Every structure is written in C-alpha cells, then in structure tokens.
Chain A
C-alpha cells in the first residue's frame, strides 16, 4: 500500500465574495514529484499556504503527511520543508550559520546537525565557502543550498515555490538532479514552476485555472488528452481561457 503524502478534498478558500481556491481535490503519493501549475492569479499560492498550515480553509478538507490542515497545523509545519524563489536563506548569515539556524529550528541534535552539515557541504562542494555570507553566493548556488537546507530535517514533503526562477540553464538542471535524488529517498516533492520543460520532469501534475484544477495527469497523458506536442501547448490551451489574473 502506498501511503498518501497529500490528500485534498474539495479544498476551498474564500476572501469575501472572491473564491481564490474553488473545491480542489487531488492526491499526491509518497515520494512522487508533483507539479502544481497554473497561471498568475489562479490560486496556487493560496492553496499552497493552506497545505503548509499557514492559512485555514473556508471549507473542504486536506491532510498533509497525515495531519489535518484545519486542526493540526503545527504538526504539518514540523513535517514539511519549504523554499521559494523569493525567500529561502538569510543573506547576512554565513552558509554554516544558516544550516545551524534551520537545524536548530527543526530540533536537530548537535550530533545530527554536525553530520548533516558535513554531508550537505560535501555534496554541494561548498567546503571552501562555509564561512561566506549567503548573500555573496551566485543565485544558482543559493537555490541549491536552500533546497538542501529545506530537507535538512528529512521532512516527509517539501514544497518548492518557483525554485528555479531566473537560474541559468545548467544550474536549473543540477537543481532538478537534487530533486530526483530527494524523491528517490522517499521525500515527496510538491513544486510550482513557469518553465514548461520542468513540467515534463514531474511524475504527475495539475493545472489550476481561476481557482479550479482543470487538468491532472502525467505529462504524457495530458499531451495526449489535449493533442499537444509539448506541455507548453497544454498549458496555453488551458490557461488562455482564464478570466482572472493576479499575483
């Protein structure tokens, strides 16, 4: 039996008379790489905030790592990792200090922290840079480090909000190597992106339009369903009908 990392049923968030997220339902399997796509303003961020335990749903239900998003938000936060393009690490702390800070927040013991730190620094080849401020690192390095820090506490699920925006094409691919590796270790990946080639790297993905999930399947099946050659065409076919546009 494959345990579900995320189960989402009719999840809804309403702000006044604006329905930001409109009864979305989906399941994500443990260890799966799940792409969460949508146009600007489709409701992705609002949905992600509910799944991360940062916002209460208006109606509907969801469990993340087995915990209820309405009642067990603190347990969710302990069992997930999160990184985004906009916020990841503290630029004014060194690499070492950032690792220690996040390790401390997630309750790692000194021993665990030391082992993890060595492993992570070695894997990313940052031995010479540990005492550098994170702000001095090139964006690509920063993002790879941020991802490694987000899974420092071996969360069941990691949420990645546009992790590769603006990153060069080689580093973008190295970033996906890290994602594949984490997924092979059983960490579930929940990722958003505007790069349509990255949509192809997902096991399954959903596309949100105006608060709803309008399509959900493997990239190959979606292309078949929309008689499209690329995911770009699938996305365009779905999102061009969108009525909303917001951030």
Chain B
C-alpha cells in the first residue's frame, strides 16, 4: 500500500478564481524519498496542506498512511511530521522547550525517539538554551526538522526546507534526509532548486498546478528527445542573441558557463560553428552534452518561451 495517494485532486482559491492545483494524481510508496520540484506558485504548498489535513480539496480524494485526508484527519495528524515552508516554531521558547513541547503534543517524550533525531539534534545541542527566534537560518531548519520527527512519524512532509539556504547547508540537509530514509520514513519534499532533484528516488515536476512528468530523475533526463549541445564563446550574451536567430535552433538558453542549444532535425554542429564565426564570435566551443532535470523542466514548461522570435 502506498504511503501517500492523490486521486484527481483539484483546489481553487478565491471562489474558484485562482486555480491552485488541477486534477493532480500521484502516489508515494512506503519508504520512498519523493520530490515535488517546481517554482513558487506551482501549487506545492497546497499539496502539502491538503495531505496534512489543513486544507480541503474541492475535488478528488487523497490518503496518507492508508487514511483518508477528510474522514480520518485526526489520525493522520498523529502520524505525520510536517515542516512548513515558513518557520513555524515558537520563537520565544528555547530550542529544548520547543522540542519537548512538540513531543508532549504528540504524547511522547524527547528521550523516547532520541535515536532518530540524535544526529541532527547534536548539531544544535550547544544552543539548546537559546530562543528559537535567535537562531540562524540553518539552525532553525535543523530544529524544525527535529520537531517534525520527535514522534517518529510514518510520513514526513517537508515544504521547501532548503529555500534561501546556501549551497553547503543544502548539501548537508539532503545528507540528513538520506539517513532518515534509511530509517524507513517516507519523505515527501518540495524544492524550487532543480539540482536537488537528483537526491530524490522519484520526482514530480510541477508547474502552475499541473504535473509535467513523474519518474525517476534518471528516466526523466533520459526521455529528453533532442540532442543537446553546450555552446560558449567570448561574448556569451551576444552568442545567445545570435543563436536565437539561427534558423534551425529549437531552443537556446543560458546554462551556467555555457548555453544549452537544441536544433530542429539532425546534428547542426559544424554549420553552427561557421554561422557563429561569420557573426564575429571568437573562441567558439560547441560540444554535445546531457540534459539535466532543469533542461527537462524548461522543455516541458513549453519551449515556446525559448523559441527564437
């Protein structure tokens, strides 16, 4: 039995004027680390709030740990952990007080499930007497995760836990999630950072309340239909503008140091080289590259926006 199921879930706000999520269906297997990948406004938080029984869907049904989100909402609340996108602990309580408070709320003690959180808690223990409001971003994030885990939930919901967090702390956070997964906890996590998708077992790419694709990260990038090229030259911005005017260019956008370019039809490598040299570009490099999750996302968002105008 899957740990989470969504069956044709639709949710609107503002008397139907704002379509938050539309006809969403997917499931998360028991013990799986599943990622919802999409930008702000994609509907990720709405999904979390429906699954944690804080919001009712307009249409469709959903279950968590085999329980119906509408009928069994009380039972669900007892067996899930939820870390909302916005820091929601008590700012005036200390680190330890927050933990003990949440433990008590779930009818357990800090000591009972200490093994589960010890790894994470040890890192903030030196500050256990500090008020939560006075913690740094990285420490708040760790405390919030501890509070969500203190009752050893079956399913853990993490809504954008790494937003606004620097690249080093983000890596550490994903390492923690990997260890929790090994403890058998099902994790549904969302992120706007495409590069974090690879840390999940399966992902759903979500945009404007609809799912673009669901699969393992490896399968999603493997399904990228065109050959993708990485191109660079001395003036990268001029290069971008010129390639967009190249008749056979299907898409062209910046990707770190390079531009990622795909073409209509067959291999256009050598032709492009000539075209770019005619346009006066120096040090042109064109090489084949592999699509990443971000490339797949951009492509499924509708390449219309990237077409040469």
Do A167 and B39 touch across chains, with their CB atoms under 8 A apart?
A: yes
**Smallest CB separation, A186 vs chain B (Å):** 15
**Smallest CB separation, B235 vs chain A (Å):** 10
Do B39 and A41 touch across chains, with their CB atoms under 8 A apart?
A: no
> Taking the complex as formed, is A53 at the interface, i.e. its CB lies under 8 A from any CB of chain B?
no
B207 neighbours in A (Cβ, 8 Å): 168
> Taking the complex as formed, is B86 at the interface, i.e. its CB lies under 8 A from any CB of chain A?
no
**Known: A169-B298, A194-B167. Contact between A41 and B136, CB under 8 A?**
yes
> Taking the complex as formed, is B139 at the interface, i.e. its CB lies under 8 A from any CB of chain A?
yes
Those of B120-143 within 8 Å (CB) of chain A: 136-139
Q: Give the tally of cross-chain contacts (CB within 8 A).
A: 100
**Smallest CB separation, A20 vs chain B (Å):** 13
> Taking the complex as formed, is A166 at the interface, i.e. its CB lies under 8 A from any CB of chain B?
yes
Interface string of A34-67 (1 = CB under 8 A from B): 0000111100000000000000000000000000
Those of A169-198 within 8 Å (CB) of chain B: 169-171, 173-174, 176-177, 180, 184, 194-197
Which of A166, A180, A201 has the most chain B CB within a 10 Å cutoff?
A: A166
**Smallest CB separation, B233 vs chain A (Å):** 13
> Taking the complex as formed, is A6 at the interface, i.e. its CB lies under 8 A from any CB of chain B?
no
Do B257 and A239 touch across chains, with their CB atoms under 8 A apart?
A: no
| Nearest A residue to B237, CB-CB | A180
How big is chain A's contact interface, by range? 35 or more
**Smallest CB separation, A125 vs chain B (Å):** 12
B294 neighbours in A (Cβ, 8 Å): 169
> Taking the complex as formed, is A31 at the interface, i.e. its CB lies under 8 A from any CB of chain B?
no
Do A236 and B167 touch across chains, with their CB atoms under 8 A apart?
A: yes
Do A138 and B138 touch across chains, with their CB atoms under 8 A apart?
A: no
Do B166 and A246 touch across chains, with their CB atoms under 8 A apart?
A: no
| Nearest A residue to B38, CB-CB | A168
Do A169 and B168 touch across chains, with their CB atoms under 8 A apart?
A: no
Of the candidates A167, A174, A231, the one whose C-beta lies within 8 Å of that of B40 is A167
B194 neighbours in A (Cβ, 8 Å): 169
Interface string of B154-169 (1 = CB under 8 A from A): 0000001001111111
B40 neighbours in A (Cβ, 8 Å): 139, 166-168
Give Cα distance in the complex from A38 to B38, angstroms. 25
Do B137 and A235 touch across chains, with their CB atoms under 8 A apart?
A: no
Do A239 and B167 touch across chains, with their CB atoms under 8 A apart?
A: yes
Interface string of A192-211 (1 = CB under 8 A from B): 00111100110000000000
Of the candidates B139, B164, B237, B254, the one whose C-beta lies within 8 Å of that of A245 is B139
Do B138 and A169 touch across chains, with their CB atoms under 8 A apart?
A: no
Of the candidates A165, A170, A231, the one whose C-beta lies within 8 Å of that of B298 is A170
Interface string of A91-111 (1 = CB under 8 A from B): 000000000000000000000
A197 neighbours in B (Cβ, 8 Å): 254-256
Of the candidates B160, B166, B298, the one whose C-beta lies within 8 Å of that of A239 is B166
> Taking the complex as formed, is A17 at the interface, i.e. its CB lies under 8 A from any CB of chain B?
no
> Taking the complex as formed, is B115 at the interface, i.e. its CB lies under 8 A from any CB of chain A?
no
Give Cα distance in the complex from A158 to B171, angstroms. 31
Do B257 and A165 touch across chains, with their CB atoms under 8 A apart?
A: no
Do B167 and A232 touch across chains, with their CB atoms under 8 A apart?
A: yes
Do A40 and B169 touch across chains, with their CB atoms under 8 A apart?
A: yes
Give Cα distance in the complex from A174 to B298, angstroms. 12
**Known: A39-B168, A40-B165, A166-B192. Contact between A173 and B139, CB under 8 A?**
no
> Taking the complex as formed, is A70 at the interface, i.e. its CB lies under 8 A from any CB of chain B?
no
> Taking the complex as formed, is B224 at the interface, i.e. its CB lies under 8 A from any CB of chain A?
no
Of the candidates B136, B168, B240, B253, the one whose C-beta lies within 8 Å of that of A236 is B168
Give Cα distance in the complex from A171 to B40, angstroms. 11
> Taking the complex as formed, is A163 at the interface, i.e. its CB lies under 8 A from any CB of chain B?
no
Give Cα distance in the complex from A200 to B168, angstroms. 18
**Known: A173-B254, A201-B254. Contact between A166 and B136, CB under 8 A?**
no
| Nearest B residue to A143, CB-CB | B40
Give Cα distance in the complex from A231 to B257, angstroms. 9
> Taking the complex as formed, is B219 at the interface, i.e. its CB lies under 8 A from any CB of chain A?
no
Give Cα distance in the complex from A230 to B255, angstroms. 12
Which of B253, B255, B301 has the most chain A CB within a 10 Å cutoff?
A: B253
**Smallest CB separation, A247 vs chain B (Å):** 5
B305 neighbours in A (Cβ, 8 Å): 170, 174
- Residues in chain A within 8 A of chain B (CB atoms): 38-41, 85, 138-140, 162, 165-171, 173-174, 176-177, 180, 184, 194-197, 200-201, 219-220, 230-232, 235-236, 239-240, 242, 245-247
Q: Which 4 A-B pairs have the closest CB atoms?
A: A168-B39, A246-B136, A166-B40, A197-B256
* 5 A-B pairs (CB sep. < 8 Å): A40-B169, A174-B305, A194-B165, A197-B254, A235-B167
